[in-house]
Structure 1
């Protein structure tokens, strides 16, 4: 390999050129096309060639859905280590590393704002924080979002991106499934809309609880959605699974989802769904008994 080249009577260092361009391009894992990173960001991290949806963070998701001027809330909660859990490294160290990496206290962000003219409570999971796993802080934060919806009667939207319950917190994590589900049942009794949006991946206890309890269950294209992952299922039943098994398209075909909505259309779809749901409630209330 030549480290230096002569161009136009000047010596050019190939290594420096490589460093300057590093990180400017992204290869799509589906179509294998190389995409200019700025173009990918402009396109909400959706491949302009094949439509593959790259994963995005909670803050980026909130910005793409809510009108400017939204408010982030419930950010002060921090996980503890009730079991003093250690596997390859102590749980406390995992928490510190995830907090430094994401700038968040845990794998969830709540926001209050509007989608168009419609006020909503939005709760968004952060997959890059320990795989979006649901511990006691994630459960409490979503429960607070439910309480805000009950108090204000504003619709609730939860964006799921999770590997499931957080094993490092044991039963304290599993309790959150029932806690959130009970809150959503209260919302159903009060006829307050709840929309569940599932992104890649949504698995484990999150799928087994609030992710599948929406008045509308929506997913992004190509999202992996299920309880156990396909590799675990194949090892258990010792059979090859069908092509696309547990992807959102497969689930829609088999009646587990209500809609698949591309990321660029998600805001408009949620707005239209909420207008339809809240208008329907008003029309029913106005009808004579």
Structure 2
């Protein structure tokens, strides 16, 4: 029974969740950075933003990911109006925040809220790499901690999709404090026996990879995701050795016991639903 929890039950339904997106004009195309294949945007979206030529995973926005993971019209956002300040008066930081807000239509680098996956209630947090490279500042850390606390209060599982360059340098020590805050909140999930699932997408690096991203009861990743703390060049210079070509990829981490499983995008929703059902005592 348990082995069947990873079987894709309604792949066609998952792929259809984004097919009605209409904000991409007809005739606009995208070139795959890996195989150079040209694909229409709408076709790419129907394929969950995975290149059908080489399997390259294009980044997903937070809203796209929420749309295909959660049941339709089930999502209720938390803390939507929370925005970052400039605690260190870092030059141009406020201006850059406003530019990213306008460019992404987001207030910060994460969306949190509650919803359902195949009828099972969850609290979900989804990071967005387009906003300040998904970096974790005071608001990102606060929203994650609040979402974890909400999961405890509602007695529902917590799911997070990470995509981040790490701590936000413009907020200095305030940003670094978020590592402790989010890790402490993750510990509370464990204390109160709340199921916690972390899905690392590319990239998950720096202070995010070194804190809450690696603290789930299940730690998953998308294929080919870049996951690590320090940069490859810095590590090689420090240890004075050449690192393997696949170092800091999801596949390398899985091979070395740092991930539980790599899950393809079209299997993600059903896999999560199966795990949630298992922990509820449901039938798999």
The alignment's TM-score, normalised by the length of structure 1, stands at 0.86
Aligned match of 2:67:
63
1:95-151 per-position Cα deviation (integer Å, ceiling 9, x unaligned) = 111111111111010121100011000000010000000000001101110111010
Q: Distance in 1 between matches of 2:219 and 2:40?
A: 33
Q: Does 1:75 align with 2:80?
A: yes
Q: Give me the whole-angstrom Cα distance separating, in 1, the residues matched to 2:85 and 2:29.
A: 39
Structure 1 distance, partners of 2:183, 2:27, is: 42
The TM-score, its normalising length taken from structure 2, stands at 0.87
The CA distance in 2 between the partners of 1:265 and 1:184, in whole Å, is: 26
Equivalent residue number for residue 241 of structure 1: 243
Contact residue 85 and residue 91 of structure 1 kept, 8 A: yes
Matched-pair contact (CA < 8 Å) for 1:252–1:258? yes
Which ranges of 4 or more aligned residues in structure 1 deviate by more than 4 Å?
Answer: none
Instruction: Specify every segment of 5 or more residues in structure 2 that has no aligned partner in the other structure, as ranges.
Output: 1-24
Deviation by residue 1:155-189 (Cα, 9 ceiling, x = unmatched):
00011000001011111111111111111111111
1:33 to 37, 42, 50: 37
Corresponding residue of 1:43 = 47
- 1:233 offset after TM fit, Å? 2.1
Question: Who wins on radius of gyration, i.e. which is larger?
Answer: 1
Distance 1:140 1:26, change over 3 A: same
Equivalent in the alignment of 1:189: 191
Q: 2-side partners of 1:201 and 1:95: how far apart?
A: 21
- Counterpart Cα distance in 2 of 1:268 and 1:241: 35
Secondary structure of the structure 2 residue equivalent to 1:109: strand
Higher relative contact order (CA 8 A, sep 6+): 2
Q: Deviations over 1:19-60 (max 9, x none)?
A: xx9972222122222222211011110011221110011011
What is the count of residue pairs matched by the alignment? 257
Structure 1 segment 101-112 matched on structure 2, within 5 A: 101-112=103-114
